Structure 1
Amino acid sequence: MKLNLRPFLLHAAVFGFAAILFASAPAGAAEVNSRLNEITRSKKLRVCQFPLYYSISFRNPKTGVIEGIDADLAKELAKDLGAQLEIVESSFGTFIADLQANKCDIGMFALGASLQRAQAVEFSKPYLITNVYAVTRKDGPIKSWEDVDKPGIKAAVTLGSYIEPFMKGYLKKAELISVAPPNTREGELVAGRVDVIMTDFPTAVKVTDEFDWAKSIEPPEKLAVTPYAYAVPQGDQVWLNFINLFIDTIKLDGRLKKYAEKNKLGPIVAP
């Protein structure tokens, strides 16, 4: 018989973490000072998402609904918390400031957990792991990975993404173009203003699915291998512990695999 561990694990997290903090808190302390308490009290979960991220948190232009693995998992997190989900639009360049300004409780849009970012926010355990890919036009000047870094080539990255600083150091001959929202790398490629976009697995899959003229190129060796995680404000260990347990739980009960495969991200699920 298959056991449903989800309710037990998540309720144990709430009460277990609270009990630990109460035991160590000074006499007279009224309650644990954590976003977890505030969320369970207010019944509202505020999630920062970047609505231009294919397969992760992409706003469908036909329906206006945000779709992707983190759109699905944000709903699951809210359901497990018994809270109403509120999406706060953010971006790679602004999510740290948004968390620090208390505009949202968590960033959920496949955030690259880098050492630089970890100086400003807390990262959860990884749930996806990816590396850098190139996406270009089949009829364009780039036929192989060796063509990416040649004179006259314009390569686009998203401003504020973890790929941006990596490509700044990697490219020696090509011109790097940093694209700021609401513009997108994909739009620049469609318009012919760049020759290639440097991206991750989710975007490579989505763009090649969406456009029959597009192709992805993987480097001969994996570059900038990066864990994707969720981000929470610093200094709230109770909330971080709960999010880590949520990730462990969705791995155990199959939800992570289910939504990864739904959005064609099965190959990059973290172990």
Structure 2
Amino acid sequence: MQSLVPMGLPFRLSPMLCAAALAVALVAPSAAGAQALQSRLFEVTKSKKLRVCQFPLYYSISFRNPKTGEIEGIDADLSKELAKELGAELEIVESSFGTFIADLQANKCEIGMFGVGASLKRAQAVEFSKPYLITNIYAVTRKDGPIKSWADVDKKGVKAAVTLGSYIEPFMKSYLKNAELVSVAPPNTREGELVAQRVDVIITDYPTAIKVTDEFDWAKTIVPEEKLAVTPYAYVVPQGDQIWLNYINLFIDTIKLDGRLMKYAKKNKLDPIVAP
């Protein structure tokens, strides 16, 4: 096909095409800039407020002390550190394992910080940071109860409690063949059900196992013969904000390197499960 532009002559755009090209050139950078400015990182640093979703019934992680009303635990400490790094005021938004995804999607908080197990199913709806803790599951029961070893957990007549919405719940649903699984919804707790002897055993993670056995002299921890449901704990943010996720990942790298993660892990007796 013969070219419409004579050979040897410079190619020239019509005035209209020039105007269109200029408009695209001007709009493209501003659109990219607008997208960047929509990041929660910039919203938090501008508003000077960081909203953190936490489950206030999680021993050693984010547990509201009934005497002081303050939330205590490793994520209570680290959420303060994150707010400090951002130069923002910390606002705690109460959430739970059954509602945190909806809370994030509804923009009730910028981040969930309460030992959320990173699972492939949850990752379909939210973004997970790098892990900061790694745990597996344990059984906690009464010393004078019917559970003497892990083999006793899955027997007929045994009631085993888990927290509704936790990553442990679906695992135990498929794991147990004989025992009855009891899913406990907040504000009730597995520990309260065990104290009231409405269940024989609670299936939990390392943080809760440590806390319950520390607080109650009648409680004992039973460790499975093999590690079950090994799960990384991570912080959770809404999907689609890579700038915010990058910042949170850098925060985790930073507190690992400068010792703050280990400091607060030891304070809350969680140093054995700190992620490498």
TM-score, normalised relative to structure 1? 0.90
Determine which of 151, 156, 159 is the counterpart of 2:156.
151
| 1:37 aligns to 2:42 (yes or no) | yes
Match of 1:129 in 2: 134
The question of 1:265 aligning with 2:270 is answered yes
Secondary structure, aligned partner of 1:135:
strand
Q: What amino acid is the match of 2:164?
A: L
User: Secondary structure, in 3 states, of the residue corresponding to 1:125?
Assistant: strand
Task: Give secondary structure in 1 for the equivalent of 2:79.
Answer: helix
Aligned to 1:27: 29
Give the Cα separation in 1 of the matches to 2:137 and 2:167. Answer: 10
How many angstroms does 1:179 deviate by?
Answer: 0.2
What is the DSSP-based 3-state SS (H/G/I as helix, E as strand, rest coil) of the residue aligned with 2:202? Answer: strand
Displacement of 1:142 in angstroms is 0.3
State the Cα RMSD in Å.
0.8
- The whole-number CA distance in structure 1 between the counterparts of 2:98 and 2:221 is 25
How far residue 34 of structure 1 moved from its aligned partner, in angstroms, is 0.3
Residue matched to 1:252: 257
2:124 pairs with 1:119? yes
Count how many residue pairs are aligned between Structure 1 and Structure 2: 247
Percent identity of the aligned residues?
Answer: 84
Post-superposition Cα deviations, 1:163-197, rounded to whole Å, max 9, x if no partner, equal 00000000000000000000000000000000000
CA deviations over 1:75-113 (Å, ceiling 9, x no partner): 000000000000000000000000000000000000000
Secondary structure class of the residue paired with 2:130: coil
2:173 is equivalent to residue 168 of structure 1: yes
SS across alignment from 2:123 = helix
> Paired residue for 1:50, among 45, 51, 55?
55
SS where residue 55 of structure 1 aligns?
coil
Once the two structures are superposed, the pairs formed by residues 207-218 of structure 1 within 5 Å of their partners are 207-218=212-223
2:77 is aligned, of 49, 63, 72, to: 72
Work out the CA distance in 1 between the residues paired with 2:266 and 2:181.
32
Partner residue of 2:246 out of 241, 251, 270: 241
Q: Which amino acid aligns with 1:170?
A: Y
2:21 corresponds to:
none
Q: How far does residue 127 in structure 1 lie from its aligned partner after superposition?
A: 0.2
What does residue 64 of structure 2 align with? 59
Matched residue SS, 2:92: strand
Aligned twin of 1:223: 228
Q: Name the CA distance, whole Å, in 1 between partners of 2:104 and 2:181.
A: 29
Residue 117 of structure 1 and its aligned partner are, at CA, apart by 0.2
Alpha-carbon distance, 1:27 to partner: 2.4
Q: How much has 1:37 moved relative to structure 2?
A: 0.5
CA shift for structure 1 position 35: 0.4
In structure 1, how many angstroms separate the alpha carbons of the residues matched to 2:69 and 2:234?
25
Q: How far 1:260 sits from its partner (Å)?
A: 0.2
1:198 maps to 203
Within 5 A, what are the aligned runs for 1:86-125?
Answer: 86-125=91-130
Q: Give the letter for the 1:138 counterpart.
A: K
- Matched residue type, 2:62: S
- After superposing on structure 2, the runs of 4+ consecutive aligned residues of structure 1 that deviate more than 4 Å are none
Please identify the structure whose Cα radius of gyration is greater. 2
Cα distance, 1:26 vs structure 2: 2.1
Alpha-carbon shift at residue 234 of structure 1 (Å): 0.2
Partner of 1:188: 193
TM-score (norm 2): 0.89
AA matched with 2:154: D
Deviation, structure 1 residue 28: 2.5
Alpha-carbon distance between aligned partners in 2 of 1:28 and 1:151, rounded to the nearest angstrom = 65
Gaps of 5+ in 1: 1-24
Aligned to 2:237: 232
Mean Cα displacement is larger for which, 30-39 or 198-207?
Answer: 30-39
Q: What is the CA deviation profile of residues 238-262 of structure 1, one whole-angstrom value per residue up to 9, with x for unaligned ones?
A: 0000000000000000000000000
The 2-side partners of 1:28 and 1:115 are apart by: 35
Q: Distance in 2 between matches of 1:162 and 1:196?
A: 17
Measure, in 2, the Cα distance between the counterparts of 1:232 and 1:61: 28
> 2:50 aligns to what SS in structure 1?
strand
Q: What is the CA-CA distance between 1:72 and the residue it aligns to?
A: 0.1
